[in-house]
Amino acid sequence: MKEHAVVIENLSRHFGQFKAVDRVSLTVSRGETFGFLGANGAGKTTTIRMLCGLLMPTSGGGSVAGFDIATRPEEVKKHIGYMSQKFSLYPDLTGRENIHFYGAAYGLARTVIRQRLETLAERLSLHEFIDRRTASLPVGWRQRLALAVALLHEPAILFLDEPTAGVDPVFRRRFWEILYELAEAKITIFVTTHYMDEAEYCGRISIMHQGRIVELGRPFDIVRRLDAAGLEDAFISLIRSREATNA
């Protein structure tokens, strides 16, 4: 496994005239926890979808887990785990059935799935609700199930798109504790979030605005550079000034 988990160079995606992602470049090292920030509509989700092999770039390129995202998306998919904003679990299936299904989708044998399910259930405290239909579960529990699904095939890189949206603070905290454990196990985590306190848990962050990366670095460095009171302040003033220059 290469040193860099994610490498993107001048990645762009246009929809007609609209430039959703405009020449984005960055690298994420193995084992890093990288925070991908930006206002709504800045292009974060589009970028992630390209990295996961769901969308073709218009220009530029990159590699994930050492595989080119444009030419070898199938290989990329084998090495990543993805948790979408909506948690994408089948509402009419139980947690256990969901996990078994996705395990099969990743080509795991039933016995393997069963073993890993036990481990994950322990770790993420799933036992209480794993046999209930996911439609009936509160957001926090669904979130944990979705994470279990993303981890089942033991990917090297995790892409998490707003994984804590709509989740209460207790669950959020617990979630990030789990992420820390994963990071210690050298799993690369690429996460988008709107919560500034979560951003501060990341090793490095980037801030996107209208398809471009306008800031990149450690949270502490960014705050100091922008002479802000905290990360939230830094974010807001940055976005505001950008809007002003564009107006």
Partner 1 sequence: MWRAFAGLVRKEFLQVFRDPNMLRLIFAMPLIQLILFGYVTRTEVKRIALDVYDYERSSLSREFVNAMQAGDYFVPSRIDAPLVDLEDRFKAGTSEMALIIPGDFSERIQKGAGVTLSLVADGANSNAALVGLGYAAQIVRKFSKERTALHSPIEIRSTVLYNPDAESVYFMVPGIVVILLTMITAMLTSMAIVRERERGTLEQLLVTPISRVTLLMGKIAPFAILGLAEMAFVLTVGVLWFRVPFVGSPLLLLGLAVIYLFTSLGVGLFFSTVTTTQQQAMFFAWFFSIFAILTSGFFTPIANMPQWLQTLTYLNPMRYFLNIVRSIMMKGAGASELLFDIAAQSVYAVVIFTFSAVRFTKR
Summarize as ranges the residues that interact with partner 1 (CB under 8 A): 52-54, 74, 77-78, 80, 82, 84, 86, 88-93, 97, 100-109
- How many angstroms separate the CA atoms of 107 and 78, rounded? 10
Q: Between residues 79 and 212, which has the closer beta carbon with respect to partner 1?
A: 79
Residue with Cβ nearer partner 1 (101 or 171): 101
Cβ closest to partner 1, residue 86 vs residue 240: 86
Angle subtended at Cα 93 by Cα 90 and Cα 94, rounded to the nearest 5 degrees: 115
Minimum distance of partner 1 from residue 234's CB (angstroms)? 32
CB burial readout 172-198, b (16+ within 10 A) else e? bebbbeebeebbeeebbbbbbbebbeb
User: In terms of CB distance, is 147 or 222 closer to partner 1?
Assistant: 147
Tell which residue, 189, 199, 208, 205, has the closest CA to residue 83. 189
CB of 202 to partner 1, least distance (A): 22
Residues 6+ apart with CB under 8 A from 200: 219, 231
CB of 184 to partner 1, least distance (A): 25
DSSP per position, 49-117: HHHTTSS--SEEEEEETTEETTT-HHHHHHHEEEE-TT----TTSBHHHHHHHHHHHTT--HHHHHHHH
Question: 45: which 2 tokens?
Answer: 């989700």
The smaller minimum CB distance to partner 1, of residues 82 and 129, is found at 82
Least Cβ distance, residue 200 to partner 1 (angstroms) = 28
Q: Which residue, 97 or 232, is less far from partner 1 as judged by CB?
A: 97
Least gap, CB of 86 to partner 1 (angstroms): 5
What is the rounded distance in angstroms from the CA atom of residue 13 to the CA atom of residue 235?
24
CB of 167 to partner 1, least distance (A): 18
